[in-house]
């Protein structure tokens, strides 16, 4: 079984107080009251009693439902967890669990402790007695479950490692808006790598900047970062977000194309693809770039 280490500096008393406040905020009816609840079902009465029969069974609090969209970074995920749990698990606690927790999964070996990319986007139910480490553990287990049947041997065929597949998948997740374009964008990334070209993926610059900007300036493209694929050769050192299953699949099974260039050409986020640099320049001019 995977193991993990809870943060030792957590105060049990403060956490208990936070749980009680969360209960009151969510639903005051969850506080145990000494009342027998009677349900009429098809003319019969049902009683909810404690095991001893001396009073009502305390209501069981509903878990917090935390939905993490595809393409969220770990920082965005932490903020969403804080909001969805009403502060039961704060953003700081979650980030600490991500950065400092110890999790025993084979797929993390190459990542060197970096969990960006592995917090699988899904809906999670979080009980009030669960910690940030528990939630991170759940997300990693979900990643393992979702991806274990994929053909990871195709990574070597494409000249990359399993971790590098995840890095490519994260770029695909951020660049593709239309689902059918994911394998095509993946093919462009692989074709650029094979040609020894700089990847020049705008989404990696956004990650390097630490914010998502509607448009990048020329000065943005000069940011000094190992994630700036306009300056570095090859892949960035880690994923730039947590990709979903379809983007991981696309990175493992890219389309077979000779495309090197693509550009956004429609209002709904679709791209045009080409291997002709002059055609790419014409599209850029048409788009006013």
3-state secondary structure of 227: coil
Tokens of 1: 């079984």
List the Cα angle 125/127/132 in 5-degree steps. Answer: 85
Please tell me the least confidently modeled range out of 5-19, 30-44, 106-120: 30-44
- For the chain, what are the domain ranges? 160-286
Q: What is the pLDDT of residues 188-208, one digit of tens each?
A: 999 999 999 999 999 999 999
Q: What is the pLDDT of residues 228-275, one digit of tens each?
A: 999 999 999 999 999 999 999 999 999 999 999 999 888 888 999 999
In whole angstroms, what is the distance from residue 30 CA to residue 22 CA? 11
**Where does the chain show beta strands of DSSP type E?**
38-41, 44-47, 64-67, 123-126, 261-264, 271-274
In whole angstroms, what is the distance from residue 128 CA to residue 60 CA? 10
Better pLDDT: 257 or 42: 257
Q: Which residues contact 281 (CB under 8 A, 6 or more apart)?
A: none
pLDDT (0 to 100) of residue 93: 98
């Amino acid at each position: 079984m995977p193991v993990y280490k809870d943060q030792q500096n957590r105060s049990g008393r403060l956490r208990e107080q936070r749980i009680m406040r969360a209960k009151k905020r969510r639903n005051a009816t969850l506080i145990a009251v000494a009342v027998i609840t009677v349900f009429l079902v098809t003319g019969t009465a049902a009683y909810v009693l404690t095991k001893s029969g001396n009073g009502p069974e305390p209501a069981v609090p509903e878990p917090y439902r935390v939905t993490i969209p595809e393409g969220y970074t770990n920082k965005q995920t932490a903020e969403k967890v804080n909001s969805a749990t009403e502060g039961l698990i704060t953003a700081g606690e979650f980030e600490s669990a991500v950065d400092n927790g110890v999790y025993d999964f084979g797929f993390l070996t190459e990542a060197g402790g970096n969990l960006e990319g592995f917090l699988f986007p899904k809906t999670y139910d979080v009980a009030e007695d669960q910690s940030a480490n528990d939630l991170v553990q759940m997300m990693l287990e979900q990643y393992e479950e979702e991806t274990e049947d994929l053909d990871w041997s195709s990574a070597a065929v494409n000249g990359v490692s399993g971790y590098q597949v995840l890095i490519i998948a994260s770029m695909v997740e951020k660049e593709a808006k239309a689902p059918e374009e994911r394998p095509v964008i993946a093919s462009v990334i692989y074709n650029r790598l094979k040609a020894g070209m700089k990847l020049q993926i705008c989404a990696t610059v956004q990650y390097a900047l630490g914010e998502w900007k509607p448009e990048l300036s020329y000065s943005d493209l000069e940011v000094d970062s190992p994630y700036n694929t306009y300056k570095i050769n090859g892949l960035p050192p880690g994923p730039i977000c947590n990709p979903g299953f379809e983007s991981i699949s696309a990175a493992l099974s890219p389309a077979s194309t000779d495309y090197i260039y693509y550009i956004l050409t429609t209002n709904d986020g679709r791209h045009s693809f080409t291997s002709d640099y002059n055609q790419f320049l014409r599209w850029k001019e048409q788009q006013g770039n």
